[in-house]
Amino acid sequence: MKEFKYLKFLDVFRGLFQRFGIDYNTLRKILRIKLLIDSRRTSTVLTNQKKKDGKNNFIRSLGIFLLFGVFLSVFMFIRNNYLFSMSLIFSMFMFFIMTSLVSDFSTIILDLKDKEIILTKPVDSRTLNAAKVLHIFYYIFMITMALLGPAMLVSLKRYGYTFFFLFLLTAVLIDLLSIVFTSLLYLLVLRFFSGEKLKDIINYFQIVLTIAITLGYQLMSRIWTFIDFNKIELKLTWWKMFMPPLWFAAPFELFIKGNTDKNIVFLSLLALIVPIIAIIIYIKTSSVFESSLQKLRSSEGQTKSKNKFIILVSNIICKDKEEKAFYKFTTNMIKKERTFKLKVYPSLGFSIVFPLLMVIAQHFNDSLSRKSFFAIYFASFMVLDVVGYLSYSGNYKGAWIYETMPIRSRASIYKGSLKAVFINLFTPLFIFVSLVFLYIFKFGILLDLAVVYSNIFLLTIITHMIQKKDLPFSLAFETTEKKTGFWELIKVLITMGILAVLHSLSDKIRFGGLIYLALILLTIIILWNKTFKKAELEEG
């Protein structure tokens, strides 16, 4: 039987868990099973599909974090002002941790199966919740090591062991605080809403949380006043005391540099006390959490359907019956399937907040220029996530219909579903972002917006072409599953960059915008036909 190193590591803290009233032996068993499940892939329902490679996608996606980690380690070379360097590192770190918690690990926090299987046995909800937190912690800790590992190595070399261990300890505290904090926020949402509404609220909450994290992160990097390069100062006003990265940076100032300023001592205390209090609250409320979770399963109430509108649109933009059917199917699934929404909606939050944040900040600084407009390309990040996750669903077992129904062409499945995400997710978001841009840049950018809109569609096709072709909603979500592999991600990002650069270059020629737009539309038509003609030919 497979023994996980992580569990051996946790054994060290056995006594601590028991003090919190957690049944450690049971906790260990639950965790072992969870890790065992993660190490396997769910077999797909569609039997004639090729077997996927056994490599763990999660490990591969760590590569991207490692890349950022190397970048972060540069801050370790700033001397003398630990409060500055460490709070910068921690704010970026917390940003990554929180966002991956919200998008990738919400499914663990909000899992319903555990309740039915485990809580009907003599296991208390405290132990089950501790298992959930530690399950998430396992992955978060790996991300932590990828992000902070390089910086930790630098610190070990430059500042010695004390610094290194303090670094490790604060990182773990941040991880725990982030996980517990996110769970508590979910609990709050679960308490106040119920039924069908709750399922929607959770997704909006995810979007809002993603936006909040991004804003908080932006705020963090702006609290420093640069007098000159060597003199960086921080005036501690009351509201800055609410910035968690400062709490966790303070101990370095206190212990390494011996700065016993009362503000620093206070912040250091917060770094220790807040996570502990959060954990205690979480343990105390865990039974409430479990009973509130049940609400997600209740099915009372009906959602009003806008079916007529969906049918109307499908008749306009789809050609044949199958394509129309899959357009409608995908539209309904992306609007209603809980697990899919849990995974995808946070990235929609990004796509709204990034471009807006950039132009609004510049708008108020009066540093707005033609270049600022291209921030709108950050909105196209959503394409990557949404198209990447389109093959996944919590109801993946329903995919047997693809096999048993007399579907003439798989190409029309893809056509219908790609159109559906473009119309139902990308278009409303794009319109929203465009309206703000129109307000800021005035009507001169109408043509540019048309170009960006077309480019988003082009990217949708390209992302679809690059990634593995699995039928929509036919695969199971798994903890370690990442929709797009590292290289696919890089390819799409580069394409995105090229499209944006070409757009900015088109300014240089007369009627450049129009010519560019025409070229994109032409490319779309060619690629669209080529991809799906090819798919049809392969089917024979």
Partner 1 sequence: MNPVITIRNLSKSYGQKKVLNNIDLDIYKGEIIGYIGPNGAGKSTTVKIMLGLVGEYEGEVRIFGQNIKNGNIEYKKKIGYVPETADVYENLTAREYLTFIGELYGMDYDEANKKAEKLMDLFGIKEVYDARLSSYSKGMKQKALIISSLINDPDILFLDEPLSGIDANSVMVIKEVLAELARCGKTIFYSSHIMEVVEKLSHRIILINNGEIVADGNIEELKTKSMEGSLERIFNQLTGFNEHELIAKEIVATIRGGEPVEGI
Binding site for partner 1 (CB under 8 A): 26, 29-30, 33, 36-37, 40-43, 113, 115-124, 194-195, 287, 291, 294-295, 298, 300
CA 438 to each of CA 359, 441, 443, 448, 500: distance values in angstroms, whole numbers, following the listed order: 11, 5, 6, 11, 18
Q: Nearest distance from residue 363's CB to partner 1, in Å?
A: 45
Give the 3-state secondary structure of residue 361.
helix
Q: Are 158 and 76 in contact (CB under 8 A)?
A: yes
Looking at the Cβ atoms of 124 and 536, the one nearer to partner 1 is: 124
To the nearest whole angstrom, how small is the minimum distance from the Cβ of residue 115 to partner 1? 6
Query: Which residue lies nearer to partner 1 by CB, 123 or 176?
Result: 123
**Beta carbon of residue 461, minimum distance to partner 1 (angstroms, whole number):** 33
Q: Where does 442-511 have alpha helices with state H? A: 446-466, 486-505
User: C-beta of 302: minimal distance to partner 1 in Å?
Assistant: 13
Q: What angle do CA 417, 325, 489 make, to 5 degrees?
A: 10
CB 477 within 8 A of CB 394: yes
- Give the nearer residue to partner 1 in terms of CB position, either 327 or 396: 396
Q: Which two tokens stand for residue 245?
A: 């990265």
Nearest CB to partner 1, comparing residues 194 and 259: 194
**Do 92 and 70 meet the contact criterion of CB atoms below 8 Å apart?**
no
- Rounded to a whole number of angstroms, the minimum distance from the CB of residue 37 to partner 1 is 5
Rg (CA), the chain: 25
Q: How far is the CB of 137 from partner 1 (least distance, A)?
A: 20
Beta strand pairing status for 231-233 and 225-228? antiparallel
- Kindly provide the b/e burial profile for residues 101-134, where b requires at least 16 CB atoms within 10 angstroms of the residue's own CB: bbbbbbbbbbbeebbeebbeeebbbbbbbbbbbb
Measure the CA–CA gap between 141 and 422, rounded to whole angstroms. Answer: 35
Query: Which residues lie closer than 8 Å to 513 by C-beta, 6 or more apart?
Result: 447, 448, 451, 506, 507
Q: Rounded distance, CA 78 to CA 90, Å?
A: 14
**Which of 20, 242 has the CB closer to partner 1?**
20
Q: Least Å distance between CB 195 and partner 1? A: 6
Residue 38's nearest CA partner among 46, 27, 30, 47 is 30
| Rounded CA separation 71/77 (Å) | 12
**CB nearer partner 1, residue 190 or residue 492:** 190
Nearer to partner 1, 121 or 235 (CB): 121
Q: CB of 42: closest distance to partner 1 in angstroms?
A: 6
Shortest gap between Cβ of 346 and partner 1 (angstroms)? Answer: 25
For residues 40 and 52, which CB has a smaller minimum distance to partner 1 in the complex? 40
Q: Which is nearer to partner 1, 118 or 535 (CB)?
A: 118
